[in-house]
Amino acid sequence: MPFETSPTSSGHARAVPETEASRIEEIRAAQLKFFKSGATLTRAFREEQLRALSSAMEKFESKIAAALFEDLGKNAAQTYITEVGLVKADCSRAIKRLAGWMKPRAGLPGIALAPAITHRVPQPLGLNLIIAPWNYPVQLALAPLVGAIAAGNVAVVKPSEVSAASSEVIAELIADTFAPEHIACVTGGVETSTHLLAVRWDHLFFTGGPVVGKIVAHAAAEHFSRLTLELGGKSPTIVTATANLEVAAKRIMFGKCTNAGQTCIAPDYLLVERSVHDELLTRMATAVKGFYGEDPSQASDYGRIINDRHFERIAKLIDADKVFMGGQTDAATRYIAPTILRDVGVDDAVMQSEIFGPILPVIAVDDLDEAIALIERHPNPLALYLFTGERKDEKKVLDRVSFGDGCVNQTLIQFADHNVPFGGIGHSGTGAYHGDASFWTFSHVKGVVRASNMFDMSLRYPPFEKNMGLIRRLIG
């Protein structure tokens, strides 16, 4: 089960001001009017706005980097790789694909409906509310926005109050780039979110934890809003005896340590075949030294925990008796070393909920079937990673385990692949985005059958009985 984020979570030194309900209503009314004017419908307008967002990412790059350093100890290189660069890539891809996405697709219905042509016409949803979390605060607020703009919508973005510095920069970037009746940013925490969810949006796009996810889902039900939930979960990694252990070790620890483990698709726990367990652990420790040196607290590529509440939550999960590597913590700087725990039991605290920190619990298994049985103790994960040299192992896991997205012999990279519709299933979310999926998530596909007046088959009208032989053959 994903960790239960409290709806009252905050705790960063800098406070984000709440937004009043009356201000939200003003923005909403202006956006509704703008949307109804049809101004967002043309391809030229959408392209221009996507170009503006891409340019804004360059213009604000240094401010974004400073904010992410303040919030998460993220350096400029990582900020580019995991935030700014991804949004720019999304914009370029959307600009290239826009004409194809917008084009109505034609098809021929069956003979029983002839003569006619079917059109599938994408239509923007209208008013969108995008609520973002704190762990990749910029990218998770602005990448969904790319889809919203490409599909011809208006949108309000609500960044997380927990990543306060980033929230401020996102608000500045949006105000500097867009007309507020098209795209606006509303800042604040629970109070603001509660005002936002009290009114109707055509689509709620939420990224975050399951507790707030449920609140958002209730609001969607109340207003018959379309709902996209990008949640989390306990994402397993499996290593079989035939895996390339040297490569697996590096890729697993890179996936775990990026953003100090505060990644929704990070490998949460590791299931490794007993025969290669010791060698893999040794290689993982070597990989971490290669990335961050003897003391990761001194490495500029290694981040910090977002706030004191999360620091305490994660630090408590380290069982000193099971530490194979790492285990050091420093409350003053919210530093938690990359940590590997061995001989972990399924009932240990670290195996009960999403870790969302740089701790990797390891469980040795006899075979793939035991690994699959352990994975099935938790609800559908957001990601799954399998390291193996055998295609039959790959087939077994892909056929039998239900998860959002994942990789074979890699971690994390599914997130950056535009061909992957990124999203969860069941407890890890509903709906998907990135690449083509972003456009369709922010669109309704209107199906329209255009009938010809050339002839009008009498057998379509009553009385039917005399034509039933032919009707049966035509319908199928």
Alpha helices in 293-364 (DSSP H): 308-315
HEC profile of 181-248: CCEEECCCCHHHHHHHHHCCCCEEEEECCHHHHHHHHHHHHHHCCEEEEECCCCCEEEECCCCCHHHH
Known catalytic membership, residue 230: yes
Among 131, 150, 171, 248, binds ligand NAD (CB under 6 A): 131
Among 296, 358, 429, 431, binds ligand NAD (CB under 6 A): 429
Alpha helices in 241-294 (DSSP H): 245-257, 277-292
- Contact stretch for ligand NAD (CB under 6 A) within 128-136, 171-179, 322-330, 340-348: 128-136
Binding of ligand NAD at residue 2 (CB under 6 A)?
yes
User: Strand, helix or coil at 153?
Assistant: coil
Instruction: Check: CB of residue 294 under 8 Å from CB of residue 302.
Output: no
Known catalytic membership, residue 161: no
* Per-residue CA distances from 23 to 18, 71, 170, 184 (Å): 11, 27, 18, 11
Q: Which of residues 281-300 bind ligand NAD (CB under 6 A)?
A: none
User: Strand, helix or coil at 122?
Assistant: strand
Binding of ligand NAD at residue 258 (CB under 6 A)?
no
**In the complex with ligand NAD, which residue's Cβ is closer, 122 or 435?**
435
Binding of ligand NAD at residue 208 (CB under 6 A)?
yes
- Cα(155)–Cα(172) distance, integer angstroms: 16
Q: What angle do CA 326, 266, 370 make, to 5 degrees?
A: 90
Cβ 230 to ligand NAD shortest distance, Å: 3
**In the complex with ligand NAD, which residue's Cβ is closer, 255 or 424?**
424
User: What tokens appear for 184 in the block?
Assistant: 């606006």
- Contact stretch for ligand NAD (CB under 6 A) within 51-59, 122-130, 159-167, 358-366: 159-167
Q: Which of residues 332-361 bind ligand NAD (CB under 6 A)?
A: 354, 356
**In the complex with ligand NAD, which residue's Cβ is closer, 141 or 364?**
141
Nearest Cα neighbor of 202 from 129, 120, 121 is 129
Binding of ligand NAD at residue 7 (CB under 6 A)?
yes
At residue 20, what is the residue type? Answer: E
Binding of ligand NAD at residue 212 (CB under 6 A)?
yes
- Contact stretch for ligand NAD (CB under 6 A) within 47-55, 122-130, 190-198, 320-328: 190-198
Binding of ligand NAD at residue 82 (CB under 6 A)?
no
**In the complex with ligand NAD, which residue's Cβ is closer, 210 or 296?**
210
Number of residues located near ligand NAD, criterion CB under 6 A = 34
Q: How many CB atoms sit inside 10 A of residue 27's CB?
A: 19
What Rg value do the Cα atoms of the chain yield, rounded?
Answer: 25
- Residue numbers at the binding site for ligand NAD (CB under 6 A): 2-3, 5, 7, 9, 131-135, 140, 158, 160-162, 189-190, 193-194, 197, 207-209, 212, 215, 230-232, 264, 354, 356, 382, 424, 429
What residues act catalytically?
Answer: 230, 264
